[in-house]
């Protein structure tokens, strides 16, 4: 009889050990999945900021090419970049929804881009009316173009800040706390 109770005790011990091992393995798998989700969000943000920066560059190239030549085919990069930026702007807002500072930076990009459009549009319209000016610009128009260039640099710098902020957070904050803070800022439900 004592041998049977000893066997039952050993079986219960091993079943308990197996159950604990399974729970720990499941917790580790869940943590790895959550970490992978965060990495994929991080990579999505990096790609999106890179594409947004490239789109702004395309718009600048298209406008400058048109101002120099008066040829409408140089406006194609502008239109393409504008469409791409519009999509990437919305994507950036979604990806950084939980970061108020990032949201402010991204909205500043949009505000500066709006200023940039307002400065460039009169130059473009003037160039469309004056087809044969060989790219010559008045001093006043050159000043406007310099302000456009400064805004372009500001936009690129802001997008760079968005990217740098996420890179610093990704490389310096442990994965567990990033995940916990993103899903449960008070740490009430996740314990790592």
Instruction: Give the domain CATH number at 62.
Output: 1.20.120
172 belongs to a structural domain: yes
Residue 139, in any domain of the structure: yes
| DSSP type of residue 74 | G
pLDDT single digits (tens) 36-82: 566 788 888 889 999 999 999 999 999 988 888 888 898 999 999 99
- Start-to-end C-alpha separation, the chain: 44
Tell me, yes or no, whether 52 lies in a domain: yes
Q: What is the pLDDT of residue 191?
A: 43
Instruction: Give residue-wise pLDDT tens across range 105-158.
Output: 999 999 999 999 999 999 888 888 876 666 577 889 889 989 999 999 999 999
In a domain, 59, yes or no: yes
Range of the domain at 50: 37-183
The answer to whether residue 156 sits within a structural domain is yes
Instruction: Indicate the number of domains in the chain.
Output: 1
Whether 110 and 92 have beta carbons less than 8 Å apart is answered as: no
Distance CA 187, CA 46 (A): 27
pLDDT at 192: 40
* pLDDT per residue as tens digits for the range 10-40: 777 777 776 777 666 666 665 554 555 667 8
Which pLDDT belongs to residue 70? 85
Is residue 154 one of the residues assigned to a domain? yes
Dist CA 50 CA 163 (whole Å)? 8
In-domain check, residue 67: yes
Quickly tell me which residue has 């979604």 as its tokens.
94
> Does 186 have pLDDT greater than 60?
no
CB 56 within 8 A of CB 81: yes
Could you tell me if 47 and 159 are in contact, meaning their C-beta atoms sit under 8 angstroms apart?
Answer: no
pLDDT of residue 187: 46
Q: Where are the alpha helices (DSSP H) in the chain?
A: 2-69, 76-95, 100-129, 139-172, 175-183
Judge whether 17 lies within some domain. no
């Amino acid at each position: 009889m004592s041998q049977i109770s000893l066997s039952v005790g050993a079986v219960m011990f091993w079943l308990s050990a197996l159950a604990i091992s399974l729970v720990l393995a499941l917790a580790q798998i869940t943590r790895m999945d959550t970490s992978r989700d965060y990495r994929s969000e991080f990579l999505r943000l990096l790609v999106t900021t890179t594409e947004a920066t490239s789109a702004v560059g395309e718009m600048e190239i298209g406008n400058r090419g048109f101002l120099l030549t008066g040829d409408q085919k140089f406006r194609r990069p502008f239109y393409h970049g504008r469409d791409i930026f519009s999509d990437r702007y919305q994507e950036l807002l979604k990806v950084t929804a939980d970061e108020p500072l990032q949201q402010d930076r991204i909205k500043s990009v949009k505000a500066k881009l709006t200023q940039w459009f307002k400065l460039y549009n009169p130059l473009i319209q003037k160039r469309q009316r004056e087809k044969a000016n060989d790219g010559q610009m008045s001093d006043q128009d050159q000043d406007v173009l310099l302000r456009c260039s400064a805004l372009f640099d500001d936009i690129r710098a802001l997008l760079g800040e968005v990217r740098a902020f996420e890179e610093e957070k990704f490389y310096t904050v442990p994965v567990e706390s990033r995940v916990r803070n993103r899903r449960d800022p008070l740490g009430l439900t996740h314990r790592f």
